[in-house]
Structure 1
């Protein structure tokens, strides 16, 4: 309802994202090996940093990046069978949990060595371990982070994910020769946003796209537990810092996270509902095909929106230190994932 009321503010940015998406689809006919997904992101980044920098495009690009991608994920559920979900297996869940734990740990460690604040480190940890901007948005109010830390972490995480999206393709080819499960685990277990996972999978094949998305969606489900732990972590740290000289502790009346609610994103629930309906043959095949086509178009438009929201000026203004932080995290994620996949390979 809110988006309907703000329709006139959404339209300009949405239209330019749609235009860029269809230009990407057109250009992909000449470079089929690249595909429309990365082209849409590149075009979005070019537009968002050159001729489409006006605030008039802000709400529309945000809608495309967030809401439209959510609708795409829900519709994707109507094209998959529950059998596909089971192929992830227990080993897939173990991989996701371990990858997230190691990512959070290494992010906090590197951030401490580089001298970043606890709030910024936690935002970077949630963004890289779970689901990019969405995780940062969910974590920020819980730990009471400042807007500056939130904005910087979103910028760094999005840029890191965009770089990894292209870098992981040759890595997957080199180590796994694009085998579906291993490649899907690599993309779905590392990439920061759902859009980046979809774009990366689309550059390989349809099977990797679907499985990598499942790995990613399971990561998002664990957002609840990650944010709960971070709330506890920052609260305990603040209590330690408030110990007075006489040994007593000044405890705030409102504890961190006491009034905050963390829920599984609605599109995850929608995805699984449609997935179950499709598995029960309650969604006709022709309707499922329509869902797939619409979902694909929404994905490309959303990726153009993601590209538009990567602002190079903001990145440069924050200095190289934060960028180095993001790149070190990304490199660590790749090493961790490769070791885990190789270790768990016998049960994948």
Structure 2
């Protein structure tokens, strides 16, 4: 009898959660459909870009409703992750080889110098160690996901984490719109260099996809490879940030007792992307399977981007103050300048 009651309670709980998710999920999908249709008349922008811009517009005006939050959060997180996994079914080792050794070196140098510059600038502007490290990792690796992984390793407070996530998302949104223009002005029709610029700088996977979509599908594919390489370095970054903070604590006069450091695994969608890519390279998946994967990946991606736009609250950005905005924009300028210099030196 108790088991029956427990099962019923579980069913009610699942039903309640599903109902709570439904409004936001459906809203994001409707925005995605509108964006797909709009892209027929606005092919230069593309559905992905329209989705995130329309989401930002609606999310800060008519659709600024708490009831949508749970659903848009699921759409932003899970759908984009599934999209990345399915993208692996359309990529092979031959595609990755286009990046080359110099492409991999570009990613490592871009990440390393971004981390050092962001941290030193943060300290110069009198931000705390934690906030400077979160800013460095969030911009160098993968935005909010990196910040969430680094925070427990350096014992950052929730308030510090929230402020930096807001700042990194603002910077990513600005760069998302600017990088395709900068890339076209400097590199013209060169696909690989524009892919390196976008995939090597932008903070989140969604921003990379949306920005690259403003150029073309090939740039989306290659920019994602640069981005995946950065995400794969997340474990290393979290480990070294934790060690760095620990050494600083040990060398200081007051050593606080802190909770045990959490382990950070590689994001599951990166593992899924790599496995699909390996399988597709060795076995060569049927064309129909790859086409189906590409279709669902595209829809997941656009729905997720619509959700990202709907969740982007501009009021939060302005609450953080002028010093935060100057810090964010300065890091963005450093990243863009650095990427242009490295691409030139390495002749990507």
Question: Does the pair score TM above 0.5?
Answer: yes
CA distance in 2, matches of 1:141, 1:210: 32
1:307-326 equivalences under 5 Å are 307-326=309-328
1:239-276 CA distance string (max 9 Å, x none) = 22235xxxxxx574x5x7x5411111111111111112
1:44-123 equivalences under 5 Å are 44-123=55-134
What's 1:269 paired with?
A: 271
What's 1:9 paired with?
A: 20
1:102-251 equivalences under 5 Å are 102-242=113-253, 250=255
CA distance in 2, matches of 1:297, 1:31: 18
1:258-306 CA distance string (max 9 Å, x none) = 5411111111111111112222335211011011011011111111111
What's 1:339 paired with?
A: 341
CA distance in 1, matches of 2:23, 2:146: 27
1:107-154 CA distance string (max 9 Å, x none) = 112211221111111111111000011101111111111111111111
- SS of residue in 1 equivalent to 2:141: helix
Give unpaired runs (5+ residues) of structure 1: 244-249
CA distance in 2, matches of 1:334, 1:193: 16
- SS of residue in 1 equivalent to 2:178: helix
CA distance in 2, matches of 1:178, 1:141: 43
Give unpaired runs (5+ residues) of structure 2: 1-9
What's 2:4 paired with?
A: none
CA distance in 2, matches of 1:4, 1:262: 28
Match status 1:328 vs 2:339: no
Match status 1:299 vs 2:301: yes
CA RMSD of aligned residues (A): 1.8
Q: How many angstroms does 1:225 deviate by?
A: 0.8
CA contact (8 A) 1:239 1:251 kept: no
Q: Give the total of aligned pairs.
A: 336
CA distance in 2, matches of 1:230, 1:9: 37
1:167-213 CA distance string (max 9 Å, x none) = 11121112111312111111010000111111111111111110100
CA change 1:9–1:178 in 2 (3 A) is farther
CA distance in 1, matches of 2:125, 2:139: 17
CA change 1:110–1:259 in 2 (3 A) is closer
CA contact (8 A) 2:152 2:261 kept: no
**Farther-moved stretch of structure 1 (106-115 vs 275-284):** 275-284
CA contact (8 A) 1:178 1:204 kept: no
CA distance in 2, matches of 1:50, 1:71: 29
Q: How many angstroms does 1:52 deviate by?
A: 2.3
Structure with the higher fraction of residues in helix conformation: 2
Taking structure 1 as the reference length, the TM-score comes to 0.92
CA distance in 1, matches of 2:328, 2:336: 13
Q: How many angstroms does 1:14 deviate by?
A: 0.9
